[in-house]
Amino acid sequence: MKKQINILSAAIVSILASAPAQAIQFDGFMTAGASQIVSIKEEDKGNIYIGGLGDRGITEDLTFEKDTRFGLQISSDVAENMSVVAQVLGRGDNGNFNAIIEWAYIDYEFHETTSVHVGKIKQPVYLVNDYVEVGYAYPWIRPPQEVYLLNNPLNTVNGIELLFQIPVGPGTLSFQPYVGSNRDDIPNAQGAYFEAESIYGADLKYSGRGYTVHGSAFQCDVNTTGGFKTDTNNPFSAQLDVNLNGHGDCKVMAAGFNLDLANVVVYAEWTKRTTTEELSRAFGDTEGYYATIGYRFGKFLPHITFASIEGKASTFGLPGNGAITVPASSPVAPGGTSLNFPVQIQTSITAGLRYEVNDSAALKVEYQVVDVEQDPSTLADANQGFNYGLFNTNFSQSPPQNKVGIMSVALDVIF
């Protein structure tokens, strides 16, 4: 499959290259990043933090694969009111930097205020969804994953969207309704995947000089496929059977704003996801938010971010038909039991510094402290007995019981 995608990438570039030179535009970006867990208690070692854009995770070993990525955006005018736009992306995932078509669509402009996009389009859900891979475009090394990773693992939709943009007062009001479908892997689920059909959504945004406010919502029908078995090194001291097969509806709402005015930089976003039926066994209801504030001193931008994700695990199918089956041999749960996939409950504080190397490059350093909720009463209220937060949930070991410190460095470049 990846070989076919690479062939498709080459074909798109070849077709665009055959157009007149003056009609083609190339824009690129790259992030070279390194990250490592630098503060962790002895009993928590071995846990892998998955809160990032790639899927290799952050461990106690220094890694350059989590945040390193390269992208090339290609656009070409086909006719007076029509163009083709595509982005080829390579990043440090399990495919080891194989190039993929991140998005590719035809843009047709009906009017100076109205256009339609058809193909593989960016899904407009959060503030930086349109350029989430372009690290130079925002202050963090990676967007706060309590919002960006788990509530909606999709960044693109295969479908169609309309874009209306009209001047209102001192700014521009835009409205993007869209419909489509997509398929992707379930984050950190050992090959299990989901298919999202009948995706209907819209984003409403108002942008002015130095600020943006937006709200969005979408819903879709989802089928999940796959599962895995664990070893016995987990909270139940037994081999668990994790079944992620299911079907149901998913709804996501989001709102946010950012401000970059008079040296002050502010970002804040909120999102909520609800699921129904069997789908909720693997995807419980979650709510996440973050707030970032920074102040620019010449070329330096120090900033701090507080982020949180919480929710409730589903009770659908319980007892007896949960996503996780604990065998009768478990010494912790004699006679066996059944439960659904735990929701992610954690908070994090990230202190960062961005330095403008020049007009096209920025150097960033961050230290993040992640606190995974382990209070028994809080977990009981969330219908679960244990919680991994945004750490590896393959149940290969017990989740972290103490705060974990993560150091990251990245150089972002646009060209």
- Provide the residue range defining the domain that includes 174: 30-60+137-414
Q: Is 91 left (phi over 0), alpha (psi -120 to 50) or beta?
A: beta
Is residue 102 included in any domain, yes or no?
Answer: no
pTM (2 d.p.): 0.89
Tracing tokens 């001192």 back to the chain, one arrives at: 170
Is residue 117 included in any domain, yes or no?
Answer: no
Is residue 229 included in any domain, yes or no?
Answer: yes
- Which contacts (CB < 8 Å, 24+ apart) does range 130-133 have? 132/53, 133/29, 133/53, 133/69, 133/71, 133/87, 133/89, 133/91, 133/102
Rounded (5°) CA angle 270-361-136: 15
Phi, psi (deg, nearest 5) at residue 234: -150, 175
Distance, in Å, from the CA atom of 252 to the CA atom of 272, rounded to the nearest integer, reads: 6
- Residue 208: exposure state from Cβ atoms within 10 A (0-12, 13-18, ≥19): middle
Count of domains in the chain? 1
pLDDT by residue, tens only, the chain of 415 residues: 444 444 444 444 454 455 454 478 999 999 999 999 999 999 999 999 986 444 568 999 998 888 899 999 999 998 889 999 999 998 866 556 778 888 999 999 999 999 999 999 999 999 998 899 999 999 999 999 999 876 566 788 999 999 999 999 999 999 999 999 998 877 666 778 889 999 999 999 999 999 999 999 999 999 999 888 888 887 888 888 988 898 999 999 999 999 999 999 999 999 999 999 999 998 889 999 999 999 999 999 999 999 999 999 999 999 888 999 999 999 988 888 999 988 999 999 999 999 999 999 999 999 999 999 999 999 999 999 889 999 987 787 889 999 999 999 999 999 9
| pLDDT score of 3 | 42
Is residue 131 included in any domain, yes or no?
Answer: no
Tracing tokens 């819209």 back to the chain, one arrives at: 202
| pLDDT score of 9 | 47
- What is the domain-level CATH number for residue 279? 2.40.160
Is residue 81 included in any domain, yes or no?
Answer: no
- Say how many C-beta atoms besides its own lie within 10 A of residue 171's C-beta: 15
CB 187 within 8 A of CB 222: no
| pLDDT score of 397 | 82
CB 59 within 8 A of CB 37: yes
Nearest to 404 by CA among 159, 46, 160: 46
| pLDDT score of 145 | 92
Is residue 42 included in any domain, yes or no?
Answer: yes
| pLDDT score of 162 | 97
| pLDDT score of 282 | 86
Longest Cα–Cα distance in the chain? 72
Rg (CA), the chain: 22
CA distances from 44 to 60, 69, 372 (A): 11, 29, 12
